[in-house]
Amino acid sequence: MRSGDEHVDDETLTLLALGEDITADDRAHVAACARCTAELDALADVTDLARSAGDLVAPAPHVWDAVAAELGLGAQARPTTSTAKAGTATATSTTTSTATTPPARRAGSSDSPGAEVVPLAPRRRGRWGWVAAGAAAGLLVGAAVTWGLVDRTPATDVVATATLDPLPGWDAIGSAEVEEHRDGSRVLVVDLDGDVDSQGFREVWLLRPDVSGLVSLGTLEGSSGRFDLPAGLDLHEFSVVDVSEEQFDGNPAHSGDSIVRGPLRA
């Protein structure tokens, strides 16, 4: 029997959170003990989070580096795909071997026809059971922490924005922002609002502040558009966003009729 001040150990609480069966004595103590109940609830929350995440994608190396740095792990702690696969294969092989090997041919038994197989009585989960349960809990915690870091890491950073004001003859406003992705690529996102109906089409440009040079980024379809920026384009030099009305006249140059315009600011 358990003494009044003896709490259920962490391994048993981990098993219970994972849905494993525990002794009636342990279960009764958890039900009556506020401390053990709180620890069980915390473990159950981690388990539910890991299970609800679906198929987890292996994180990028820099994500694991952040986890390792936070937990004080060394560089050698980073898991590899081959190691993970090897561990899975070993566990599968062990389970299959135990399930399919006839009792008379297990280690320690005789191959002679007259050998007697003595069944072993069920026994309480041994030390390796606790180790396996602890490892499973560690994987769940690691998956939850990694998933949280992945979710909180933005896919892009907004490095510049612009307010687009109307030019004479137009009743429109707009906005623009430059998104920078993890790989260094950049995208200009343009939104236009107002009366911009015309007989032609709208084109997005980046201009020098003195309008001495310009770069065409493409046609704006509808009120919003995303435009890939050339890798070598200097946004300090071409820092003004311009949306113009163009005609189907075969002339690729700027028409001189701008709808909205505004400078990018970091």
Please tell me the predicted confidence (pLDDT) of residue 243: 94
E strands along the chain, which residues?
156-166, 171-181, 186-195, 201-207, 214-220, 224-228, 240-246, 258-263
Q: Backbone phi, then psi, for 235, in 5-degree steps?
A: -75, -10
pLDDT at 97: 43
Q: Is 140:132 a contact under the CB 8 Å cutoff? A: no
- Residue segments in the chain with a per-residue pLDDT below the cut of 50: 82-115, 117-129, 131, 150-151
Q: Whole-angstrom Cα distance, residue 165 to residue 244?
A: 12
Note whether 235 and 217 are within 8 A (CB).
no
Helices (H), 157-260: none
Closest CA to 66 of 77, 57, 56, 55: 77
pTM of the model: 0.45
Helices 127-152 and 34-52 sit at what angle, rounded to 10 degrees? 60
Paired tokens of 1: 């029997």
| pLDDT tens for each residue of 22-50 | 888 888 888 888 888 888 888 888 877 77
| The predicted structure's pLDDT at residue 80 | 56
Decide: 140 and 47 in contact? Cβ < 8 Å.
Answer: yes
